[in-house]
């Protein structure tokens, strides 16, 4: 076979341009002749542009709306007696007095518990997640306090489970729902669930009691 014929026969291989896909490489193709073996490997360029592009070209920073604000931090401070470093609710985003409340805690590396828990792997302590959830529960009990600043205390916690670690950068979304209220004894039973990114990270049952301020 002449060199011209050989080049003509293999030219379709070299002229072929495989269409970009999500793969970063293609199988090696081999062309053999009686005298010479030609090998070629096609490798596609990995592109940041996906094969199936979304019709929504809105930048990611504009794509997700912020949580609504029902009670801001100043209103929270007027209701809860907690202060730094134990005020663990930054915003209330849903509030049904006497029924349920949803609050958020923005977890940041500047939180004072991270240097000790743990220095090499900062994780929000589970007991502080429970405390934050209880503070959200305080809003649910406000109608029973009749607007006073009476304190509420843990009377018991049951069936608490920690599903996933909460780390700096997470937004902890906590829902507390009143299950049972014994007005005579000033005791309330509540169900709590905390989420990060829509996944449950902590849940349990809370028994809370009202106590008069001194």
Q: Quick one: average pLDDT of 52-61?
A: 74
pLDDT band at 190 (very low <50, low <70, confident <90, very high): very high
Q: How many CA atoms lie within 13 A of 192 on its CB side?
A: 34
| Residues catalogued as catalytic | 117
- For the stretch 20-29, contacts whose Cβ atoms lie closer than 8 Å and that sit 24 or more positions apart, written own/partner, are 20/44, 20/45, 20/47, 20/51, 21/51, 22/50, 22/51
**Using CA atoms, how far apart are residues 21 and 16, in angstroms rounded to an integer?**
15
Q: Residue 141: which of 105, 107, 192, 104 has the closest Cα?
A: 192
Domain ranges of the chain: 3-62, 69-211
Q: What share of the chain is helix, strand, coil (3-state, %, to 5)?
A: 20, 30, 45
pLDDT at residue 136 greater than cutoff 50:
yes
The per-residue pLDDT of the chain, averaged, comes to: 79
Tell me which of 20-34, 41-55, 146-160 is least confident. 20-34
Q: Using an 8 Å Cβ cutoff, are 24 and 43 in contact?
A: yes
In 99-128, which positions are buried (b, 16+ CB within 10 angstroms) versus exposed (e)?
A: ebbbbbbebeeebeebeeeeeeebebbbeb
Instruction: Return the higher-pLDDT residue of 122 and 3.
Output: 122
pLDDT mean over 3-8: 48
DSSP state of 89: -
* Token pair recorded at residue 11: 């030219």
With a cut of 50, say whether residue 48 has pLDDT above it. Answer: no
CATH superfamily assigned to domain 69-211: Hotdog Thioesterase (3.10.129.10)
Answer positive or negative: Cα dihedral of 123, 126, 128, 133.
positive
Segment among 146-150, 152-156, 207-211 with least mean pLDDT: 146-150
**Percent of the chain predicted with pLDDT > 70:** 69
Asked whether residue 86 carries a pLDDT value surpassing 90, the answer given is yes
Q: H or E stretch including 143?
A: helix 142-145
**Residue 56, pLDDT score:** 75
């Amino acid at each position: 076979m002449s060199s011209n014929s050989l080049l003509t026969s293999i030219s379709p291989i070299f002229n072929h341009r495989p269409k970009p896909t999500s793969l970063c490489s293609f199988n090696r193709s081999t062309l053999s002749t009686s005298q010479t073996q030609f090998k070629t490997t096609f490798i596609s360029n990995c592109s940041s542009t996906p094969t199936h592009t979304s019709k929504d070209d809105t930048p990611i920073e504009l794509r997700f709306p912020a949580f609504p604000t029902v009670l801001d931090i100043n209103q929270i401070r007027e209701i809860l007696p907690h202060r730094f470093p134990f005020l663990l609710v930054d915003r209330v985003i849903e509030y049904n007095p006497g029924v349920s409340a949803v609050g958020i805690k923005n977890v940041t590396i500047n939180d004072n518990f991270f240097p000790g828990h743990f220095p090499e792997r900062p994780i929000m302590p589970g007991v502080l997640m429970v405390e934050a959830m209880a503070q959200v529960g305080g809003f649910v009990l406000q109608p029973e306090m009749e607007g006073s600043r009476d304190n509420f205390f843990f009377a018991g916690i049951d069936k608490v489970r920690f599903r996933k670690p909460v780390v700096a950068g997470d937004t902890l979304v906590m829902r507390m729902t009143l299950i049972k209220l014994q007005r005579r004894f000033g005791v309330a039973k509540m169900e709590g669930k905390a989420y990060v990114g829509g996944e449950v990270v902590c849940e349990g049952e809370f028994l809370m009691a009202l106590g008069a301020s001194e």
